[in-house]
Chain A
Amino acid sequence: MSKPILIVEDSEQKYRDIERVITDSWDKQVDLTRASTITDAEQAIATRFWAGIVLDVSMDITSSSAGPRQGGHATTGGLSIARKMFLTGRTAPTVIVTAFSSFQGRMVERGRFVMIGLEEVQARAMEALQSNYLGCVRYNDVGWDDDLIATLKPVVEQ
């Protein structure tokens, strides 16, 4: 029976690349579903079982026909999804795939927002997902596709 995997990804190109990498390796072993906004992702996570989740960090909030970014954008929206999973008791093994190394975070020091780096993103994802955090893959780095497969392997081949 194929494993249901949710790919939370707003970028069309990146989604296609992730989809290709996963299906090239496992094809019939996985059943891929895409959520291209935070609201879609939260809905999907709240209503279905997922054997694994591939999670982007910077995400569109909702879909809108009002042009680019009119649906709103959250630069660390993926982490909010992870946090909400923890708060609502929804768990699934999750791998983060991001194209960026720094993000405008909400962490405040003396009431200020700071940019957060990939390490901070990983730390927060680990805090939210705990043992379900599989790792972080830097999209488009050399060998990112191999990293993704290696990280997802325990989920698909379990």
Chain B
Amino acid sequence: MLRLNAYLGCHTALAVSAPEGWSLLRDPATSGLFAEAASVIEAATSEALAHDSTGREWINSVQWRLRIPEEAIRVREWLAIVRQRIRVTPNYLSGINWSWVDEIIRLYLLVPFVGEPDGVYTLLLRAIEDRDSESVELRAAFEPLVVGKDFPAVISFLIEEFGPEAIAFVRFFLTAENILLLKLAPNLTAAMSNRISGIEECLRRFRFGTLMSEDQYRNEARSLTAALLLVNVHMGQFEVPWGMFKSQVSEREGDTYDAFVAFRSLGSDSQSVGRNRVVTPHQYGNGRVVRYSFEARYWPQIFLAISIVEAFLEHPSFGLEAILSTRFRHDTLRREFVAAGAGVRDAFIVGAGPEVKERITEQLGAPVYRRVQGWANDLLRTKTGPSDAVLFDLVPTQEDVEKLLEVTSMSVDFEQFIDGIVDWMKKRLEEQVADARLRFSEELLPELRQIVARERAILMEDSSFRNQDVTKVAAAFESSIARAGQSLADWFLTQGFSNPSPLRFGDIEVAASGVFESHSIAGELDIRLLQGGLSEKLVPPERVKVCFDLLLEAFQNAHKHRHVKKGSIRLSNWIDGEMSGVLFSSSIVYSPKVYEREVVGEPFESIPDALFREGNSGLQKMASMAATVAGCSVAMKVFRRCRSFHVAVPLWRGM
């Protein structure tokens, strides 16, 4: 406001109606100082903003309208104006006076927002501006709106209430974590699956646009595939979806790159000031400080390169800090060993009663689990100082940055620039993960064996248990821990997402059935998965999601058409001529209507085709998905009997 006034030399409608513009005049005006002038300014500004002649004055117009309810603390009116006049526009600021909102929350808590569509819309705008996908305010306000609804009903509500902006709620707020917190899914896979089905439902209604482009949708679908690929315990926890990371960085830092290119084109190389050496300490997110020394002309490029490294270190889902904390230190690694130990407690061991097994495994397990956690806490960290003896360090040194400068100087566009940085990080990460795997297998696992041996010796000396029980239970425990250790060593692998492995059909079945976990627990749907045979068939990564969707569709139909209370679906191997696949057999409500028919499906040719194909519902949708998995046209056979429904779905050529 002050800058605008200084620039223009007087009050203008544009300056006065700028965010917080009027608040600067308000206090003197209300205290009687130049009251007359203020009323003149107000009238002139109202007149000027009555018609948005350029279509670009909306932000001033909104601010001008908001000032009165803001001053009078008429919160509902204020929220209604926000919702009516401000559209969700990612990467742009709304100019909303968030300090005022904070003050309202301090005074009235969340009361004006809770269960109010205008309130949740406003809090969504804030969450988007703050890039805060975990907004507790928004979640708490949103909660009453979804009580008693399942996820599809929530999506329908959002579409009905917010129209095309429903997709903004799904994209920016209904993350897998928030879906779980709102109790709209029983587990993480189901939550991710719900999220993407919500996005798809919105896209079917409103198509791609500024709130969700085809590329963004593709990334969402990849996230689900990535999560599905991770269902296997043998998958490496350090696998990073680099493609997704690159596109996110490109979207976020694209403007910075353009600025850097513009700066480079000014030819600062030839100016002596550009050759001055500048030493700058840079602090990374984990607290590590590195001093870099470069000529001034290189700094824009260095800042950009460092920001890409930092983006990976701090990425909330698959950044290095997130991997080390969430996938290892925060009880994750320890729990895998605890689960292995619990298996022994629950196993049948001749002669050893349940109580004996429990007490012995508890005594053997406690120091083992402590050591696992200690090892993870001590070593699976990023280096924060020169003397830190940890296993991971991706912070570039002076020499590393010199190399990065060299590589990125040759880039012709931002994509190549990012590639240069990502290649450096991948190589370094691979070396460190390989070292971690070695330390895990050759140091920690032998140490765990020693701990078990030591505890066993203590138990043998103690007369609380019979020695034969101790021997048997300890042997079983040691084997179980060793087996778990061997499997868990595969967590320390990096290859995968650049060249992901196919997934067993059986693993996809397990993931899809997990989406119906709560229905199974409630006894509403009994899912019997394929045993042996074709469950070992491999599905290539690019077809994992469609295969998963096909299974969801089959399970969903079985649930929808089940008997009044209880339904079931059984999967069995099915072979017909050159094709093999799955026979889905489900129990249904009795009907004398009996028929057999064939449904032909053609593979989806593109993302829009998969989302928007005409007649894409029910059995036809399943046939198209089966054809996409098979990679060719398929003919699905459907048999309806009085109390059962069978669909033979060809998925592979040959057996």
Contact = CB atoms under 8 A, between A and B. Distances in A.
Q: Do these two chains interact?
A: yes
Interface of A: 10-13, 38-39, 42, 58, 61-62, 64-66, 68-75, 80, 83-84, 86-89, 99-100, 102-104, 106, 108, 110-115, 117
Contacts of A106: 132-134, 316
Interface of B: prevailing SS: helix
A71 B325 contact: no
A111 B188 CA distance: 25
Given A87-B105, A88-B110, A104-B322, A68 B335 contact: yes
Contacts of B70: none
A75 B330 contact: yes
Identify the interface centre among B181, B191, B322, B332: most chain A CB within 10 Å of its CB: B181
A74 B373 CA distance: 18
A104 B188 contact: no
Q: Which of A64, A103, A106, A117 has the most CB of B within 10 A?
A: A64
B447 interface: no
B188 A103 contact: no
A115 B514 contact: no
B176 interface: yes
The 7 A-B residue pairs whose C-beta atoms are closest, nearest first, are A64-B187, A66-B187, A114-B285, A70-B187, A83-B136, A72-B180, A87-B110
Given A87-B105, A111-B131, A112-B310, 13 more contacts: A10-B331, A39-B180, A42-B181, A66-B186, A66-B517, A68-B335, A87-B109, A87-B110, A102-B286, A104-B325, A112-B285, A113-B285, A114-B314
A38 B140 CA distance: 13
Interface in B522-539: none
B594 to A, nearest CB: 37
Interface in B181-216: 181, 183, 186-189, 191
B339 interface: yes
Task: Report which residue of B136, B321, B521 has the largest number of chain A beta carbons within 10 angstroms of its beta carbon.
Answer: B136
Contacts of A10: 331
Nearest to A110: B307
B517 A65 contact: yes
A102 B390 CA distance: 15
Nearest to B177: A72
Interface residues of B, number: 52
Given A87-B109, A113-B315, A68 B339 contact: yes
A39 B187 CA distance: 12
Nearest to B330: A58
A100 to B, nearest CB: 7
A113 B316 contact: yes
Interface string B126-140: 000011111011011
A86 B108 CA distance: 11
Given A72-B177, A113-B314, A115-B321, A87 B136 contact: yes
Nearest to B134: A106
B653 interface: no
Given A65-B521, A74-B177, A104-B322, A84 B131 contact: no
B164 interface: no
B321 A104 contact: yes
Contact of B188 (A38, A72, A110, A113): A72
Contacts of A84: 136, 139-140
Contacts of A111: 131, 252
B284 to A, nearest CB: 9
B286 A39 contact: no
Interface string B328-341: 01111001101100
A18 B339 CA distance: 21
A78 B336 CA distance: 23
A11 B331 contact: yes
Contacts of B584: none
A19 to B, nearest CB: 15
B191 A72 contact: yes
A104 B331 contact: no
A113 B326 CA distance: 14
Contacts of B132: 106, 108
A89 B109 contact: yes
Interface in B325-380: 325-326, 329-332, 335-336, 338-339, 366, 369, 373, 377
B317 to A, nearest CB: 10
B75 interface: no
A66 B193 CA distance: 15
A100 B324 CA distance: 13
Contacts of A88: 109-110, 140
Given A72-B191, A100-B330, A38 B316 contact: no
Given A62-B183, A88-B110, A115-B286, A71 B188 contact: yes
B306 to A, nearest CB: 12
Nearest to B109: A89
Interface string B282-297: 0001110000000000
A139 to B, nearest CB: 11
Contacts of B180: 39, 61-62, 71-72
Contacts of B110: 87-88
A69 B188 contact: yes
